[in-house]
Amino acid sequence: MPFESRAANAAPSRQTGLDWGPPRFSLRFVPVWRRNFLVWKKLAFTSVLGNLADPLIYMLGLGYGLGRLLPQIEGQPYVMFLAAGTVCASTMNAATFEALYSAFSRMHVQKTWEAILNTPLALDDVLTAELVWAACKSLLSGVAILVVATALGLITSPLALLAVPVIFLTGLAFSALGLIWNALAKGYDFFMYYFTLFVTPMTLISGVFFPAAELPPVVAAVGEVLPLSHAVKLIRPLLAGQWPAAAFAHLAALLAITGAAFWVATVLTRRRLLK
């Protein structure tokens, strides 16, 4: 029997006629989340090291190397400025890779979702588990950068602890966005368009490497509304020991992006697998 038919038969009472409805949340996602965690735990060290190495090279290489040639930026040494941007970019990348490559492998290649959907669990439970799991992995990546930056003496304020829930929320936002692309993907090569057209430009115009105010006004205006920009504007002041300006507006924006993107991802995935 094809995957689509088996998936549709797995929970007809919960899914039939609800293709356009909002995601249906329940604690049934926890066993799926735990399953992903147990698989990851076998390769935890290499996974964390892989997520940590690239952003650390950028932070230390550019921060200390290029930073010696630059004046202070926004009242702080460039390496401190870059550390906050690196936390945000690392969180984004970890969530995106998990929601794209790993989720696609479980959905399309390994047929893990197919097996799960032959239990009483619904597709919404699987998607919720993927969302939360990707955010948890991104939290590990972001916190690892925080720990290293603290060990280097770049972060000294206790306000930096408030960056931890912001990191998790940022991971949720990018996990939800990644799941949209996952629902549309025909293969792994499809993900390169997402990185080329969305992730890389966003990294360059959201204030990760330099203040967004230095960009042309039109480009800076576009960057203002991107999710990475909201994360940077929350996390950078916290790491510097300051309360972010318009903090609740940025939090609301990340929450809205997460909710809207996950709704779209859920609808697209239902239409792909339950039609």
- The per-residue pLDDT for 21 is 87
- b/e map of 153-178 (b: 16 or more CB within 10 Å)? ebbeeebbebbeebbbbbbbbbbbbb
Cβ contacts of 113 within 8 Å, gap of 6 or more: 7, 106, 107, 123, 126, 273
In 3D space, the residue among 166, 161, 179 whose CA is nearest the CA of residue 253 turns out to be 166
Q: What is the tally of structural domains in the chain? A: 1
Cβ contacts of 148 within 8 Å, gap of 6 or more: 52, 56, 59
Which one has a higher pLDDT value, 224 or 63? 224
- Segment 146-160 shows an average pLDDT of 89
Q: Which domain holds residue 244?
A: 25-273
* In-domain check, residue 183: yes
* In-domain check, residue 13: no
- The per-residue pLDDT for 20 is 85
* In-domain check, residue 8: no
- Segment 21-48 shows an average pLDDT of 88
Residue 17 has pLDDT above 80, yes or no: no
Residue 58 has pLDDT above 80, yes or no: no
* In-domain check, residue 101: yes
The CA distance from 4 to 110, in Å, is 15
Helix (H, G, I), strand (E, B) or coil at 92: helix
Query: What single DSSP character describes residue 214?
Result: G
Residue labelled with tokens 């202070």: 72
* In-domain check, residue 12: no
- The per-residue pLDDT for 156 is 84
- The per-residue pLDDT for 1 is 43
* Residue 76, phi then psi, degrees to nearest 5: -145, 155
Could you tell me if 56 and 145 are in contact, meaning their C-beta atoms sit under 8 angstroms apart? yes
